[in-house]
C-alpha cells in the first residue's frame, strides 16, 4: 500500500469537506442571504406557503456578487436556455428558491433549497454558480420572474431587486367576492384601513384566473408590473416587488391584512359591503398627501 498517496488522498478529501462546509456557510452569512432566508421563514409562519407554494428571487448587487464569488463552484453548471430573452438583466446574478422547494425548509438547508444563478449577457440563458446542492434548478416561475425583474428595473431606475410570490389566504378569498378589476380590488383594500394606501399608492393590478407557471400568466404579470408593484393573481395569490426584503414582505403583509379586514367587515355586516362607516376618497387623498405620495387618481372618486 502506498501510505504517502493514501495520506494525501485523505488530506485532499478533508480539505474539500472543510472548504465545502465553509463556502456554504459563507454565502449563507451574507446579509442579502440572511434577508432572503428570513423572508421565506416569515412567509411560512404567515401560512402563505402550503406545500411548495410560492417563490422568491433577488437580483444581487455588484457587492453581493463580489462577496460571494470566492465561494462559487469552481466549475459552474451548464448554460440552460430559456424561451424568454430579457436583455436588461443580461450578466446579472440572482438568488432564487429551487423549483419544488418548500419555503418552510429553506432555513434548515439553504444550499439545498436556494441557488445563485448567473444570467448570460444576452439574457436568454442561466447557469448555477452556487447552491442547488441536491441537483435542483430555479423556481418553475424563473422566466416570469426574470421578465418582471427586467420590467421593474426599468420602472424604478434600478431600485427594484426583490420579487416575491405567495398564496395569502385573504387575498385569494377577496378575489371571489370583489369584481375582478384593478379599481374595485384596490378600493376594497385602500378603504379597509388607513395604512394601506401608504404602502400601495398606485393600487394593485389584477390578472384573471390563469394556469400557474404558464407563459400567459408571466406575460400578463410583467405587463402590469410596468405600472404596479403588486399584482393579484385571481384564485391563486399575489406577486409583489420591492427594493429590499423588508419592503417586499411588508407589501405582501399589508395587502393580505387589508383583505382580511375587508372580509371581517363583510362578515360582521351580514355580507354587505354597504358599511356604516368607511374611509372617504378625500380621506384617502389626505393620507397619501401627508406622506408626499401621489395616490392613483384613476381609482379615486
Residues carrying an active site annotation: 141
Site mask for ligand 2HA (CB under 6 A), range 23-62, x = bound: -----------------------------xxxx-------
Using DSSP, state whether 96 is helix, strand or coil: strand
The 224-263 site mask, x for binding Zn ion (CB under 5 A), equals: -------------x--------------------------
The answer to whether the beta carbons of residues 233 and 166 sit under 8 Å apart is no
Rg (CA), the chain: 22
Q: Closer CB to ligand 2HA, residue 90 or residue 213?
A: 213
Whether the Cβ atoms of residue 59 and residue 161 lie closer than 8 Å to each other:
yes
Question: Looking at 74-82, 137-145, 201-209, 272-280, which segment touches ligand 2HA (CB under 6 A)?
Answer: 137-145
Nearer to ligand 2HA, 77 or 213 (CB): 213
By the rule CB under 6 A, 221 interacts with ligand 2HA: no
176-208 burial, b at 16+ Cβ within 10 Å, e below that, comes to: eebeeebeebbbbbbbbbeebbbbbbbbbbbbe
Binds ligand 2HA (CB under 6 A): choice among 57, 92, 96, 139: 139
For residue 201, what is its C-alpha cell?
A: 399608492
Report yes or no: 236 and 166 within 8 Å, Cβ to Cβ: no
In the region spanning residues 173 to 202, those forming contacts with Zn ion, defined by CB under 5 A, are none
Residue facing ligand 2HA at closest CB distance:
212
Question: Shortest CA distance to 299 belongs to which of 249, 217, 228?
Answer: 228
**Contacts with Zn ion, residue ranges (CB under 5 A):** 237
Applying CB under 6 A, the residues found at the interface with ligand 2HA are 52-55, 139-141, 165, 212-213
Amino acid at each position: 500500500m502506498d501510505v504517502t498517496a493514501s495520506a494525501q488522498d485523505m488530506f485532499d478529501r478533508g480539505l474539500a469537506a472543510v472548504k465545502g462546509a465553509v463556502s456554504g456557510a459563507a454565502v449563507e452569512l451574507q446579509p442579502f442571504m440572511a434577508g432572503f432566508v428570513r423572508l421565506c421563514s416569515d412567509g411560512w409562519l404567515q401560512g402563505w406557503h402550503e406545500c411548495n407554494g410560492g417563490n422568491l428571487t433577488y437580483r444581487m448587487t455588484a457587492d453581493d456578487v463580489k462577496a460571494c464569488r470566492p465561494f462559487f463552484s469552481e466549475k459552474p453548471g451548464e448554460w440552460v436556455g430559456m424561451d424568454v430573452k430579457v436583455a436588461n438583466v443580461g450578466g446579472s446574478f440572482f438568488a432564487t428558491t429551487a423549483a419544488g422547494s418548500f419555503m418552510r425548509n429553506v432555513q434548515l438547508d439553504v444550499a439545498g433549497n436556494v441557488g445563485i444563478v448567473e444570467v448570460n449577457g444576452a439574457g436568454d440563458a442561466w447557469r448555477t454558480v452556487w447552491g442547488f446542492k441536491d441537483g435542483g434548478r430555479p423556481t418553475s416561475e424563473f422566466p416570469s420572474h426574470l421578465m418582471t425583474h427586467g420590467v421593474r428595473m426599468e420602472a424604478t431606475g434600478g431600485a427594484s431587486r426583490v420579487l416575491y410570490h405567495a398564496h395569502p389566504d385573504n387575498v385569494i378569498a377577496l378575489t371571489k367576492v370583489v369584481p375582478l378589476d384593478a379599481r374595485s380590488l384596490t378600493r376594497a383594500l385602500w378603504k379597509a384601513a388607513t395604512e394601506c394606501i401608504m404602502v400601495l399608492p398606485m393600487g394593485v393590478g389584477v390578472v384573471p384566473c390563469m394556469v400557474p407557471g404558464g407563459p400567459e400568466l408571466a406575460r400578463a404579470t410583467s405587463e402590469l408590473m410596468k405600472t404596479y408593484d403588486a399584482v393579484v393573481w385571481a384564485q391563486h395569490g399575489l406577486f409583489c416587488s420591492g427594493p429590499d426584503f423588508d419592503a417586499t414582505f411588508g407589501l405582501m403583509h399589508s395587502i393580505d391584512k387589508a383583505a382580511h379586514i375587508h372580509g371581517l367587515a363583510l362578515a360582521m355586516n351580514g355580507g354587505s359591503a354597504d358599511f356604516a362607516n368607511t374611509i372617504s376618497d378625500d380621506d384617502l387623498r389626505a393620507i397619501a398627501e401627508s406622506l408626499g405620495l401621489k395616490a392613483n387618481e384613476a381609482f379615486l372618486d
